[in-house]
Amino acid sequence: AGNNITVHTRTDALSTVRPRVGFVLGSRFLVYGTGGLAIAHVGYTASTDFRPVGTTQYNSAFTKTQKGWAGGGGAEFAIGAGWSVRGEYLKYDVGSVQTATVNAIPLLPPFQVNYVWTTDSPNLFRFGVNYKF
């Protein structure tokens, strides 16, 4: 009774470096695949709280820049006069298991809590309008 465990993982930023390779259908429609490097800044937080029964808390918070891969595909359609619209599917994985072992605050009782996080491998759907000059 009174125990509260909260765990969060948050990706603050994502960057990719990847070429697009595809072919043109007609004169205005490009279909492509893409793949390469993904870099993400991920924040990890966790807290176990035994209040109001006791006063002990086990808190952990840290961030990490992780590398992995990104891949997907898309299509781009040239409207004219340098304008185009595009849609893209992208999956990335910067996953690795992160762990933290924390001591109690205050140090009573004198035992530790071990947290384990796994990062997701999200799917992104992106749409855009481009102007080429």
Q: How confident is the model at residue 119 (pLDDT cuts 50, 70, 90)?
A: confident
| Average pLDDT of span 64-79 | 95
Give the tens place of pLDDT for each residue, 21-45. 999 999 999 999 999 999 999 999 9
DSSP the chain: ---EEEEEEEEEEEEEE--EEEEEETTTEEEEEEEEEEEEEEEEEEEEE-TTT---EEEEEEEEEEEEEEEEEEEEEEEETTEEEEEEEEEEE---EEEEEEE-BS--S--EEEEEEE----EEEEEEEEE--
Average pLDDT value over all residues in the chain: 89
